[in-house]
Amino acid sequence: MRIGLRVNGAPHEADVWEGESLLYVLRERLGYPGSKNACEQGECGSCSVLLDRRLVCACLVLAAQADGHDVVTVEGLAEGDRLHRVQEAFVAAGAVQCGFCTPGLVVATADLLEHTPDPSHDQIREALSGNICRCTGYAKIFDAVRMAAAG
Amino acid sequence: MSVKLELGRVGQIVPRADGIPKTTGEFAYSSDLQAAGMLWGHTLRSPHAHARITEVDISAAVAAPGVHAVLTHEDVPGAKLYGLEFQDQPVLAIDRVRYFGEPVALVAAEHPEQARRAAELIRVEYTPLPPLADAETATEQEPLHPERPTMGHGYRDDPRPNVVRSLVIRHGDPDAEGDVSVSGVYEVGIQDQAFLGPESGLCVPDGEGGIDVYVATQWLHVDRDQVAPCLGLNPEQVRIHLAGVGGAFGGREDLSMQIHGSLLALHTNRPVKIVYNREESFVGHIHRHPAKIWMEHRATRDGELVNVRARILLDGGAYASSSTAVTSNAASFACGPYQVDNALIESLCVYTNNPPCGAMRGFGAVQVCFAHEAQMDKLAAALDIDPIELRLLNALQPGDRTPTGQLITGPLPVADVIRRAAGLPVPEPEELPRDPLRLPGGSGNTTRGEGVKRGVGFAVGFKNIGYSEGFDDYTAARVQLFADGSAEIHCAAAEVGQGVAGVILQVARTELGTVDVTLAPHTTAMVGSAGSASASRMTWMASGAVRDACRAALAERERKGGGDVDVERIYRHPRTSALDPETGQTTGERSHVAYACAAMRVVAEVDVELGLTRVVWIGTAQDIGKAVNPQAVTGQIEGGTAQGLGLALMEEIQTRDGLITNASFTDYLIPTTLDMPPVVSELVEDPDPDAPYGAKGVGEPPTVVSTAAVVSALRAATGRELTRVPVKPDDIVGL
């Protein structure tokens, strides 16, 4: 089937098989591999994107469900060479190791700060509890979120 | 990937050069790769833990839509068996499968779904065999590998069936008696590395019979040396290139899709990409060995250890992988970082039809640390001595001998890490009632905290750095200096997330005195082997090789009076020696290059009625030699601690008659932001004169010690023995 959607502001059309997830179409058909394929069952958050400004796991959304909708991926957060403050904070705080969880965490953190500009530690823990990181033990991710919140 | 260093020399905090592309989504992981005309590969795997294969019919799969190739063992043109150290594992099953998920056939198709569906059409006739699923009876069962692939390599000749390796360490008088004795039986479940980036890669035929493999791995050259013989190619016809690695932790030491993708690519003459999904990843790599450990400690009334007697049983699963070295490590570190004059340690690893086990962060030391630290707490209680004082009294130090007879010559500040971890102030108890997010079990806890008890635990552990027992362990580095003053470094050291690429650039900048340094892509095509990104060795080894190559390049430029220079150097750490096969004693000066230790203090709360836990705070002091990049070091400590906490509280691959029953992140739990407490890290810098810049490895000690330390805190809170990890709610409640 043919679908049309906006990704990071740009219009796209794609011929997809009905069983394909939004994640698959972003990664394999539209050239946005930034969203990651760690579990593909909604447990790890590595594929977090904004669908009509709501945080979702792209692996749990059928591509057909995104037909006619707006998607923002990790590739859409920076403005040209100017990184999003969350991206800057993740680099500066040492919150990136292997980095496979990073795109999802960056999107989830940007979403958190959009709605809760000055989150408490427990609010950060709860908001990011759906994003698994296997490398860092989260300490430097918490640092990065606080750094980004402080601007 | 081509990265450039912006800041920093050895010892400074340097942001990761790959940090920005990893936050913007531009960094290319092995699962992100594409090539024109690319096909998707898929692997058909055994649904049985043990079965004979009587017939394979691929005809329906070959005829399925979009399919370009369906391959079985008959299509493997070279060696049919491969292995990291022993060639005991079929590339594709021949007439028998020995574990659940063993690869049987391969499909390449236009779309990944077509490949999956075609694989379902392959008809494999199995005759199920009784699975050997109980490690304790393995040496009395029919052999799974009658040809005994691990025998004849200088190990003890153990004639029993299904022995991967057995090792006995006899030290001093193994019958020596003490005034008091404590003993226990300890068990460790199967832990998974659970790296987030699934096994994946892209194999591209070069048009001349050879192949380029872009893959996430830990050791490029040993991949090449396993892939080439199975393809019937010379090593130089196989070029392994490091693609972006989404974590490793030991789980990428063994091959996954490298040979399979290459077979499909060479057969179709098209690029082939294989990406495992999470379920396949759980069966597609080796795991941490489950263990059962019987341990007895004998001591004087004053608390001095007299004798440690231990029996260690490791389940290696269906194939050898690196089990022989894990067997030895478990034995070497069974007594912990303590001075013990007498010991009898038997370590045995067996073949079974359970999931194959091999390397995972901590490599044999994790399992025994859980046991010896439980024993030390038990001994302290029996003697009514403070457990930290008991550890200080027995702390190993330079000049002591380990149970393998090795004199400790380098720095090993065991007493110092104990004092510094013990000196960290623990947080005050929190009041009740409170936000459920801060209760054991989090928002799942529906009480007001009436059953919450608090405990403080402590543990110490140590582990070897680098490869041991006489292995020729080396790393090559190549340095090109250009007339414009810039430099390019080639080193195949795998950047798996730990930050070795940054270490290489820091060393090169320090040695060359310029910021204009580039690290070339990691590949077998341009430089010699770096050895494995494992055993906490890569910082030490890559630093040595890059340092030596930089210094040689500067000398060469000086000699030539300028111009371009291109030199390659190989760095070796001090030689190690084998262990005597009968006594387990070192046959030379040392069997391990160096040791690193860590101590950890943990505060935990337990809801003793609901069996729920909350780790409140962790403080640790670690012997690191010297921090090359302090931010990266604390990152390793925090992450390594989380993996040990996971084993203590939640992580276990569950099996039933060899079949994995929880191959998903829904059922295999790993710590989240709600599980991890703050981790306070004290870096104990006592530079090792044998190590370049004095830097020991840092990745494994936190994982070795944290499982033991977390359970120690749970014991303090519950008063229960808690002899098995992961600790379950039922264990806490006492059901």
pLDDT in tens, B210-251: 999 999 999 999 999 999 999 999 999 999 999 999 999 999
Q: Is the pLDDT of residue B21 over 50?
A: yes
Residue B41, min C-alpha distance to chain A (Å):
15
- The whole-number pLDDT of residue B1 equals 33
Lowest mean pLDDT among A123-132, B8-17, B188-197, B704-713: B8-17
> Which structure tokens are listed for B288?
């941490």
- Locate the chain A residue with the closest alpha carbon to B495: A98
Q: Is A60 on the interface with B (CB under 8 A)?
A: no
Q: Is the peptide bond before B433 cis (omega within 30 degrees of 0)?
A: yes
| Closest Cβ opposite residue B497 in set A38, A75, A98 | A98
Contact A134 B249 (CB under 8 A): yes
Residue position matching structure tokens 């022995």: B163
A–B CB contacts, 8 A cutoff, strictly below:
179
Which is nearest to B468 in space by CA: B357, B568, B364? B364
Residue B22 to chain A, least CA–CA distance (Å):
6
What is residue B2's predicted lDDT score, i.e. its pLDDT?
36
Query: In angstroms, what separates the C-alpha of A6 from chain B's closest C-alpha?
Result: 18
Residues in chain A within 8 Å Cβ distance of B635:
94, 97, 135-136, 139-140
Q: Which of A41, A77, A100 shows the shortest C-beta gap to B246?
A: A100
Determine the pLDDT at residue B9. Answer: 86
CA distance B151 to chain A (A): 36
Nearest to B30 by CA among B204, B223, B244: B244
Q: Which of B4, B19, B18, B21 is nearest to B505 (CA)?
A: B4
Q: Which residue of A has its CA nearest to B677?
A: A139
A-chain CB neighbours of B496 within 8 Å are 98
Record the pTM: 0.98
Q: How far is A143 from chain B (nearest CA, A)?
A: 11
Listed by number, the residues of chain A in 62-81 with a beta carbon closer than 8 Å to a beta carbon of chain B are 73-75, 77-78
Return the pLDDT at A134: 98
Q: Do the chains contact at A98 and B671, CB–CB below 8 Å?
A: no
C-alpha B161: how far from chain center: 27
What pairs with residue B523 in β-bridges? B241
Nearest to A38 among B16, B197, B643 (CB): B197
What is the pLDDT confidence band of residue B7, given thresholds at 50, 70 and 90?
A: low
DSSP class of residue B188 equals E
Return the CA Rg of chain B. 26
Cα B574 to Cα B410, B411, B472, distances in angstroms: 12, 15, 10
Please give, rounded to a whole number of angstroms, the shortest distance from the CA of B126 to a CA of chain A. Answer: 30
Cα-atom radius of gyration of chain A, to the nearest Å?
A: 15
Nearest to A100 among B196, B438, B664 (CB): B196
Contacting residues of B for A60, CB less than 8 Å apart: none
pLDDT (tens, 9 = 90+) of chain A, 151 residues, equals 999 999 999 999 999 999 999 999 999 999 999 999 999 999 999 999 999 999 999 999 999 999 999 999 999 999 998 999 999 999 999 999 999 999 999 999 999 999 999 999 999 999 999 999 999 999 999 999 999 999 8
Cα B437 to Cα B445: distance, rounded to the nearest angstrom: 9
Test B29 with A100 for CB contact under 8 angstroms. Answer: yes
Nearest Cα residue to B335 out of B292, B297, B300: B297
| Chain A stretch 112-141, residues whose beta carbon is closer than 8 A to a beta carbon of chain B | 122, 124-126, 128-141
SS3 labels along B470-499: CCCCEEEEEEEECCCCCEEEECCCCCCCCC
Coil vs helix vs strand at B672: coil
Q: Does the CA dihedral B370-B375-B381-B383 come out positive or negative?
A: negative
Handedness of CA B588, B589, B591, B593 (dihedral sign): negative
Q: Quote the pLDDT of residue A151.
A: 84
- Chosen from B14, B20, B22, B218 to mutate, greatest number of chain A CBs within 10 A: B22
Both structure tokens of B206:
């070069």
CB spacing of B498 vs A97 below 8 angstroms? yes
Evaluate whether A21 touches A61 at the Cβ level (below 8 Å): yes
User: What's the sign of the alpha-carbon dihedral B211, B212, B215, B220?
Assistant: positive
Q: Please indicate whether, in this complex, the C-beta atoms of B25 and A33 are within 8 angstroms of each other.
A: yes
Share of chain B above pLDDT 70, in %: 99
Q: For A19, which residue in chain B has the nearest alpha carbon?
A: B113
Average pLDDT, chain B: 97
Cβ of A52 under 8 Å from any chain B Cβ?
Answer: no
- pLDDT-derived band of residue B443, with 50, 70 and 90 as boundaries? confident
The DSSP symbol for B619 reads E
| Nearest-Cα residue of chain A relative to residue B32 | A33
Q: Which residues in B lie closer than 8 A to residue A43 (C-beta atoms)?
A: 664-666
User: Which of A48, A100, A140 to probe by mutation at the B interface, max B CB count within 10 Å?
Assistant: A100
- Tracing tokens 């200080």 back to the chain, one arrives at B392
**Per-residue confidence at B4, pLDDT binned at 50, 70, 90?**
very low
Cβ neighbours of residue B390 closer than 8 Å, sequence gap 6 or more = B303, B376, B379, B380, B383
Contact at 8 Å (CB) between B369 and B629? Answer: no
- Collapsing DSSP to helix, strand or coil, B402 comes out as coil
DSSP output for B443-461: GG--S-STTEEEEEEEEEE
Q: Is the pLDDT of residue B5 over 80?
A: no
Contact A73 B25 (CB under 8 A): yes
Residue A144: per-residue pLDDT: 98
CB contact under 8 A, A92 and B639: no
Check: CB of residue B536 under 8 Å from CB of residue B465: yes
Compute the CA torsion angle A56, A58, A61, A65 (nearest 10 deg): 90
CA distance B65 to chain A (A): 14
Strands A70-72 and A48-51 turn out to be antiparallel
Q: What distances in angstroms separate CA B620 from CA B200, B616, B645, B679, B680, one per listed residue? A: 35, 14, 13, 7, 6
> Is B513 a residue whose pLDDT tops 60?
yes
- Residues with Cβ within 8 Å of B148's Cβ and at least 6 positions away in sequence, in order, are B163
CA B438 – CA B472 distance, rounded (Å): 50
Q: Within the 22-51 window of chain A, which residues sit less than 8 Å (CB to CB) from chain B?
A: 27-28, 32-41, 43-44, 46
Is residue B426 within 8 A of residue B601, CB to CB? The reply is yes
- According to DSSP, the residues that pair with B518 across neighbouring strands are B4, B488
- B3 pLDDT band, cuts 50/70/90, is very low
Mean of the pLDDT values across residues B101-123?
Answer: 98
Q: Do B639 and A136 touch (CB under 8 A)?
A: yes
Instruction: Provide the 3-class DSSP secondary structure of residue B370.
Output: helix
The closest alpha carbon to B224, from B495, B3, B496, B522, belongs to B522
State the Cα–Cα distance between residues B352 and B485, nearest whole angstrom.
57
Supply the pLDDT for residue B79: 98
User: Do the Cβ atoms of B487 and B514 come closer than 8 Å?
Assistant: yes
Arithmetic mean of pLDDT, B594-622: 98
Contacts of A136 in chain B (CB under 8 A): 635, 638-639, 642
